[in-house]
Amino acid sequence: MRILMVSAYPPIRDGIANYAVQEVKQLRAQGHDVEVLSPQPSAAHHHLDLRSARGPLALAKRLRAYDRVIIQYHPDLFYSTPLTSGSRERATLGLIGAFSAARDLEIRVHEVNYEWGREAGRHARLTRALWRRPSRIFVHTETERQAFIDAFDVPADRVRLIGHGDNFVRRTAVTRDEARALLGIDPDRFVFLSIGFIQPHKGFDRAVRAFADLGLEGCRFDVVGSLRVEEPAYVAYLTELRRVVDATPNAHLHTGYVSDEAFDQWLVAVDCLVLPYRHIWSSGVLERAALYDTPVIVTAVGGIESQAPPGTIVISDDLELRAAMRRVAGADEPIASHDEVSWDADQLSDQTAVAAAVHRAAMAERGRAPRRFSDLEALAGQSLRAAHADTSSRQRGDAPSREAFDTLPHLIHPVPRGRSAVGSLGKRLAQRLTYWEVQPIIDHVNRLQDAVRDSLDHRAEGPEDAGR
User: Same structural domain for residues 389 and 421?
Assistant: no
CB 17 within 8 A of CB 48: no
CB 94 within 8 A of CB 56: yes
* 398 in a structural domain: no
C-alpha closest to that of 84 among 432, 434, 418, 433: 418
Lowest-pLDDT choice from 150-154, 334-338, 357-361: 334-338
Q: What is the CATH number of the domain that holds 252?
A: 3.40.50.2000
> Looking at the predicted structure, is the pLDDT value of residue 2 above 50?
yes
pLDDT band at 336 (very low <50, low <70, confident <90, very high): very low
Tell me how long the chain is. 468
Chain centroid, CA 389 distance in Å: 30
Q: How far apart are CA 285 and CA 19, in angstroms?
A: 11
User: Same structural domain for residues 181 and 328?
Assistant: yes
Domain boundary among 134, 161, 188: 161
User: Same structural domain for residues 281 and 307?
Assistant: yes
* 44 in a structural domain: yes
* 401 in a structural domain: no
What was the pLDDT predicted at 448?
Answer: 77
User: Same structural domain for residues 257 and 324?
Assistant: yes
What was the pLDDT predicted at 406?
Answer: 54
User: Hey, which residues does 34 pair with through a beta bridge?
Assistant: 3
The per-residue pLDDT for range 392-403, each reduced to its tens digit, is 444 444 555 555
User: Same structural domain for residues 72 and 206?
Assistant: no
What was the pLDDT predicted at 408?
Answer: 60
What was the pLDDT predicted at 395?
Answer: 44
User: Same structural domain for residues 105 and 138?
Assistant: yes
Fill in the DSSP letter of residue 127.
H
Q: Report percent pLDDT > 90 for the chain.
A: 47
What was the pLDDT predicted at 307?
Answer: 76
* 409 in a structural domain: no
Q: What is the CATH number of the domain that holds 118?
A: 3.40.50.11930
Domain boundary among 131, 161, 191: 161
User: Same structural domain for residues 155 and 183?
Assistant: no
Lowest-pLDDT choice from 219-233, 426-440, 454-468: 454-468
User: Hey, which residues does 139 pair with through a beta bridge?
Assistant: 161
The per-residue pLDDT for range 258-315, each reduced to its tens digit, is 888 999 999 999 999 999 998 877 788 888 999 999 999 999 887 787 778 888 999 9
Q: Which amino acid is at 184?
A: G
Half-sphere exposure in the Cβ direction for 137 (13 Å, CA): 28
User: Hey, which residues does 191 pair with through a beta bridge?
Assistant: 220
User: Same structural domain for residues 220 and 102?
Assistant: no
User: Same structural domain for residues 386 and 447?
Assistant: no
Residue 154 Ramachandran class (φ > 0 left, ψ -120 to 50 alpha, else beta): beta
Mean pLDDT of the chain: 79
Q: Helix H segments across 191-259?
A: 204-214, 232-246
Q: How many domains does the chain have?
A: 3
> Looking at the predicted structure, is the pLDDT value of residue 346 above 80?
no
Q: Which amino acid is at 244?
A: V
The per-residue pLDDT for range 424-458, each reduced to its tens digit, is 677 767 766 676 667 778 767 777 776 776 666 55
- Mean local confidence (pLDDT), 202-211: 94
Q: How far apart are CA 276 and CA 109, in angstroms?
A: 23
C-alpha closest to that of 457 among 393, 345, 449: 449
Cβ-Cβ contacts under 8 Å for 346 (sequence gap 6 or more): none
The per-residue pLDDT for range 14-38, each reduced to its tens digit, is 778 888 998 999 999 999 999 999 9
Kindly list the strands in the beta sheet with 313-315, ordered across the sheet, starting from the edge strand earlier in the chain.
251-255, 219-225, 190-195, 272-275, 296-299, 313-315
* 410 in a structural domain: no
Between helix 260-269 and helix 284-291 the angle, nearest 10°, is 60
* 402 in a structural domain: no
User: Same structural domain for residues 383 and 445?
Assistant: no
Domain that holds residue 287: 176-393
User: Same structural domain for residues 151 and 182?
Assistant: no
CB 331 within 8 A of CB 321: no
Secondary structure (DSSP) of 365-403: HHTTS-SSPPHHHHHHHHHHHHHHHHHHHTTTTSPPPHH
> Looking at the predicted structure, is the pLDDT value of residue 326 above 80?
yes
> Looking at the predicted structure, is the pLDDT value of residue 232 above 70?
yes
User: Hey, which residues does 68 pair with through a beta bridge?
Assistant: 3
Q: How far apart are CA 72 and CA 52, in angstroms?
A: 18
Chain centroid, CA 344 distance in Å: 37
Long-range interactions of 362-371: CB distance < 8 A, separation 24+: 362/320, 362/323, 363/327, 363/332, 363/334, 363/335, 364/335, 364/337, 364/338, 364/340, 365/338, 367/337, 368/338, 371/311, 371/312, 371/313, 371/314
- Whole-number CA gyration radius for the chain: 25
Domain boundary among 138, 161, 184: 161
* 65 in a structural domain: yes
Residue 302 Ramachandran class (φ > 0 left, ψ -120 to 50 alpha, else beta): left
Four-point Cα dihedral 147, 107, 312, 191, nearest 10:
-130
CB 200 within 8 A of CB 225: no
User: Same structural domain for residues 9 and 95?
Assistant: yes
* 196 in a structural domain: yes
